[in-house]
Structure 1
Amino acid sequence: MTGTRRRLLRTLADADDPVAGPALADALDVSRAAVWKHIEALRDAGFDIESGADGYVVRAVPDYGAAAIEFGLDAPYTIEYHERLPSTNDRARELAAAGESDVVVVADEQTGGRGRLDRPWVSPSGGVWASLLVRPDRPPAHAPLFTLVAAVAVTRACREAGVDAVIKWPNDVLLAGSERKLAGVLTEMEGEADRVSWLVAGVGANVDIAATDLPETATSVRAAGGDDDRRRFCQRVIETFHEYRTEPASVLPAWRDHAVTLGRRVRVETPGGAVEGTAVDVRFPGALVIRTDGGERVVHAGDCEHLRPA
């Protein structure tokens, strides 16, 4: 979508009343004929734009796609949409290498989705497969914070859709009362000694997917009885990610509020061996504190398993 068309949509989204053609032309610094061409292109893309004596007003928005997600989005990101991609994270990495920033790569379907430890991630049409490319002014050691940010954003989106979602450390979003996965996060970055060059937070959320199309260990917003509007779900993930990205001090309290891991007995497989005990806290920038028989251990990364009570 062109920058002019994007600004036109934003102008219409921000307006409480119809916007006249001359006013749009002035705001966009284009001719009235150009405004009309952009309006027609948006109609062809599925927007129901009504034109009357008072001007233009959007009556309905397409179900999904770049323009649909950007319309009314309360966060300064550009959407790059694809019907099908091997991996949104891989595409975001390509954009990072080209110097881009504040872009969200979205795919209707992924053919090579992956989670942590390169585990395959089933990514059919109906999910929200999105990777947020940002360039935070932070040292690489702070990168795990953005994994927590993304997990909180997805959990909030699930809850606003009517599904009781919780976070399993560090980044799995589960249906409360079960171990069935609603979503996951895969964060990748490149950095120098003192700063992050770029960071990609990849989100895979099962939204409008039938339970029969998912592994037995997973579920979806739709299967859990929630609102399966992918457009709004994707917008809320992006908006909440941006909110916490700009207010990092509020990330850990929000993560704790949604965490199901704290207070549970866990086993975390780390490069140095398994750590088993009770998870008692999470510390900046995302480390799990585990109370073991030998005292507290701080785990920065690992594969976390919730254990049954002794």
Structure 2
Amino acid sequence: MNETRRSILGALDDGPISGPELAEGLDISRAAVWKHVEELRDAGFEIESGGDGYVLAGVAAYNGPAVEYGLDAPFTVEYYDSIGSTNDRARELATAGVADVAVLADEQIGGRGRLDREWAAPAGGVWLSVVSRPSIAPARAPLYTLAAAVATTRAAREAGVDARIKWPNDVVVPVDDTAYRKLAGILTEMEGETDRVEWLAVGIGVNANIDTADLPESATSVRAEAGDVDRRVFVQRLLEEFDAYRTDLDAVVPAWREHALTIGQRVRVDRPSGELVGDAVDVTDAGALVVETDDGRVTVSAGDCEHLRPV
């Protein structure tokens, strides 16, 4: 967001303020104040003019400036009404050296999940990719995926959804002891060397204000579970939680365990080395799943996990 417009919004936070007071405080002309106010109105900020000056009545928009306003996390938001893939754009920004940017879209027309699976991303959802340049070893990169899962789960629970986490990267809503419907998915991509991460692009897709008729049968949405959510506030809370955990990676796994649906479940994990069946008993400090099998405990760092009914 333009710094002058950010300063105007900050001044409006303290109550009504006149054009001349804004001009003097920002060292710009009154005409410039009027122009910036009009641009803020065009961006969806409901700024009213009265006898006491300008008043911010509300923020109805869902776009970059609206999400940045009041966001308690150091992200710049790049918004699109429609985009092929927010992760593709995030990779472009990352390779150009950018950091701490959140690419946000109302809809994706080329969304994808793990293993390049198609991901339905219609208008009304939260389609978001966050670019980070952390000073960590590649072995700790999976914690960013778990952090995103925790952040998404917390934002969904604040919206009234009984959200839980299915290892490693799905946010789901339980139906019964073993069944669930998918609410959100996470796809993390990275570039780095053997000893360090160059960048991470964490893609988060949430079925927010979407009718279940527009989703696969195995999916659900915030709308279906708890009614429509203010997506601007939802994204802010998600980014704030993600920022808190990416700066405190030691807190990620305990928080993940707190919301985990997978721990305690009978699971089948499809791995590159073959299928594994057993009881999920824990996750390691690096985010790997620990499975108790008939032949002993096995630690799984990657794979597709399915919950099974108990034997």
**TM-score band (shorter)?**
over 0.9
State the AA in 1 paired with 2:238: V
Alignment of 1:9-88 (within 5 A): 9=9, 11-12=10-11, 15-21=13-19, 24-25=22-23, 28=26, 30-88=28-86
- What's the CA shift for 1:50? 2.2
Question: How many Å separate the matches in 1 of 2:201 and 2:140?
Answer: 14
Is the Cα contact below 8 Å between 1:181 and 1:218 reproduced in 2? yes
- What's the CA shift for 1:181? 0.4
Alignment of 1:218-257 (within 5 A): 218-257=219-258
Deviates further, 164-173 or 242-251: 242-251
Partner of 2:305: 304
Partner of 1:268: 269
CA RMSD across the alignment:
1.7
Count of matched residue positions in the alignment of Structure 1 and Structure 2: 308
Question: How many Å separate the matches in 2 of 1:301 and 1:281?
Answer: 14
State the AA in 2 paired with 1:157: A
Question: How many Å separate the matches in 1 of 2:193 and 2:76?
Answer: 26
Partner of 2:2: 2
State the AA in 1 paired with 2:284: R
Q: Describe the shift of the 1:28–1:196 C-alpha distance in structure 2 as closer, same or farther (beyond 3 A).
A: farther
State the AA in 1 paired with 2:271: T
- What's the CA shift for 1:260? 0.3
SS at structure 1 position matched to 2:210: coil
Deviates further, 18-27 or 216-225: 18-27
Residues 238-270 of structure 1 deviation map (CA, whole Å, 9 limit, x = unaligned): 111011111211111110010000000111111
Partner of 2:259: 258
Q: Describe the shift of the 1:12–1:165 C-alpha distance in structure 2 as closer, same or farther (beyond 3 A).
A: farther
- What's the CA shift for 1:205? 0.1
- What's the CA shift for 1:5? 2.6
Is the Cα contact below 8 Å between 1:12 and 1:58 reproduced in 2? no
Q: Describe the shift of the 1:24–1:93 C-alpha distance in structure 2 as closer, same or farther (beyond 3 A).
A: farther
Is the Cα contact below 8 Å between 1:12 and 1:57 reproduced in 2? no
Question: How many Å separate the matches in 1 of 2:106 and 2:26?
Answer: 30
Deviates further, 142-151 or 175-184: 175-184
- What's the CA shift for 1:226? 3.6
- What's the CA shift for 1:274? 1.3
- What's the CA shift for 1:85? 0.6
- What's the CA shift for 1:124? 0.3
Residues 13-36 of structure 1 deviation map (CA, whole Å, 9 limit, x = unaligned): 7x3433454554466554443222
Which 5+ residue runs of structure 1 have no aligned equivalent? none
Is the Cα contact below 8 Å between 1:163 and 1:226 reproduced in 2? no
Is the Cα contact below 8 Å between 2:43 and 2:61 reproduced in 1? no
SS at structure 2 position matched to 1:204: strand
SS at structure 2 position matched to 1:224: helix
Partner of 1:94: 92
- What's the CA shift for 1:7? 4.2
